[in-house]
Amino acid sequence: MLFFFGTRASKVKERKLKRTTCPYCQTQDSFVVSTFSKYFHFFWIPIIPLFKTHIAECTHCKKSYDKTHFTQEMQHSLENENRLNPAKRPLWQGCGCLVLVAFFAIMMTISFYGVYMRSNNPEKYKIEVDPRLALLNADIDRLSSIVQTKDTVTLALKQCVDDDIVGGISTEDIAYFTKQNDDKLLILLEIRDIKKIDSKYRKELIDVVEDCMRYTNPKDSITQYFIGIEGKWNTVLVKTPFDEDLGGRFADKQLLLPFYGDKPIALEEKEMGSVLVE
């Protein structure tokens, strides 16, 4: 994401410098001094006012001077003007700062209110966590590029991947994990350099896995396949008998949870159900 920030300046006032002489053309009382106010901005929204600068221009010869090159009489005249007719900074240059203060005040108020409500009614704000997700994460942690010879399913899968996947990916670095649950099979792959494959072609990895499983499962002992492919940082592809997420960038790994069985019913719901039956 790009951020645009920096400093900008706006003219706030013009005044004449009285009793002055231009050092270049010797014209008297010909200076007009412009005062600019600088401020820090974020996405062009004024946040913090900074300082003022003064530029004097001779209306006769058009020669300009910044404040560091003012003559002594120009300095004296500007000081008099600042006392009698000061150049005030506009309020809008600090509006961003006020907006930030208001924003953080609102966020803090919402946070404290949320803490207060959770402390007084913890059950209402209790976050329900599916216990199957812990099982899935544990299996993802077991991904390994070292395949045991006795693991015939994973060994066959690795052979298919080595033969069918092209495109610059190092197949030796691909990690695997398979797990059977009755007639269901969980298949996990981790391809850390998957970025070498364009996202619109990544779903072909799922086709490779499915073709391999059909070839190595002639007796149809497995009827449901739950396939998940991990990238370097996140799940990128998921396909199950019930749903799929094949966008190739970010996939919902929770689609794999039915492999571990139905979602457990909370104890309170079970007790409620038994009361209703009775």
What is the per-residue pLDDT for 10?
Answer: 82
Give the dihedral of Cα atoms 100, 104, 109, 115; nearest 10 deg: 160
What is the per-residue pLDDT for 125?
Answer: 63
> Mean pLDDT for each consecutive 10-residue tract of the chain (278 residues)?
77 89 90 88 78 90 90 90 82 72 86 80 72 93 86 86 74 89 92 83 88 75 91 92 91 94 59 36
Rounded Cα distance, 55 and 31, in Å: 10
What is the per-residue pLDDT for 164?
Answer: 78
What is the per-residue pLDDT for 185?
Answer: 92
What is the per-residue pLDDT for 126?
Answer: 66
What is the per-residue pLDDT for 138?
Answer: 94
Q: What's the predicted TM-score (pTM) here?
A: 0.54
> Which residue segments constitute the domains of the chain, with CATH numbers given?
5-93 (no CATH), 131-260 (3.30.300)
